[in-house]
Chain A
Amino acid sequence: MTNPEPMFPHIRICEEDFDLTAEANKLRAGHKDIGAVVTFVGTVRDINEGDEVSILELEHYPGMTEKALEKIRLEAHQRWHLEASHIIHRIGKMYPCDQIVMVAVASRHRENAFHAAHFIMDYLKTNAPFWKKETLPDGSERWVDARVSDAEAHKRWDK
C-alpha cells in the first residue's frame, strides 16, 4: 500500500503547530540551485482593536481553501522565477504567541523570493476563505472584521 499523492502537496491546513526550520529545510531538499529562502510566519497577538485577546479560533472552508491557496501559489510562480514554495495555515484554537501561518519561498536570488512571499501573504489575507473569532478575557466572543488595509495591500500587486 502506498499513500496517494495529496492533491495539493505544497499546501497544508492543519491544527498542529509547525517547525519553521524543518519546513525551510524541506523546501530546499534536493535543490542545489537555491540561493535564497524567504519565510514569513504570522503569529497571534494578545491585543486587537484595543482589547486583550485570550483565544483566537480559525475557521475555514475545506476544499475551497486549498484550491484558493494553490491558485495564489501558482500565480506567484508565474510572476517570479521561483524554485519552490510552501504554505501552511493552522485552524482551530490558538493562543497569544502561537504561530498561525507560514509562507516559505525559495529562489535562485533573493529579490524574487522576497517579492513572492510578500505577494502570497497579501493575497492569502484577502482571497483565502479563513475567518477569525476572538475570545476576550471576560469570555465574550467576536468575529474579526476584514481590514481595509488588507484590501489595499492586495491592490499594490495589480498589474
Chain B
Amino acid sequence: MLNVLYFASFREVLGQAQEQLPADFQTVECLLKALAERGEAWQHALLNNQNLQIAVNHDVANRNTAIKAGDEVAFFPPVTGG
C-alpha cells in the first residue's frame, strides 16, 4: 500500500488529510493521473497544478519520481513558513 498525504489548502479542498492506496503506480505522475479521475477538484489541485509540491518519504520529489509499496507520498502547495 501507499500512504498518501495532503496538506494545507489541499487537505481542505480535497476533504481529506490521508489515505491508503494500492501501490499500483510506477511513478508519482501515474498516481496523479489516477487521482485526477476523481473529479475537477482533484484535477485542478494536483495534476494540472504547476505549483504542486511533492515529497516521497519526506524528501522533495517530482512527477517522475518512482514509487513503491510502503512509500509515503505527500502533496502540498508552496510552503510559507518562517
Contacts and interface: CB of A to CB of B under 8 A. Distances in A.
Contacts of A64: 55, 58-59, 74
Interface range on chain A (Cβ under 8 Å from partner): 20 to 34
A130 B80 CA distance: 6
Interface range on chain B (Cβ under 8 Å from partner): 10 to 19
B52 interface: no
Interface of A: 42, 58-61, 63-64, 67-68, 89, 100-101, 121, 124-133, 143-147, 150
Interface of B: 5, 7-9, 51, 53, 55, 58-60, 74, 76-82
A132 B80 contact: yes
B19 to A, nearest CB: 16
B30 to A, nearest CB: 22
A131 B82 contact: no
Contacts of A145: 78, 80
21 contacts: A58-B81, A60-B81, A61-B55, A63-B58, A64-B59, A67-B58, A101-B81, A101-B82, A124-B81, A125-B79, A129-B7, A129-B55, A130-B82, A131-B7, A131-B8, A131-B9, A131-B77, A132-B80, A143-B9, A146-B77, A147-B80
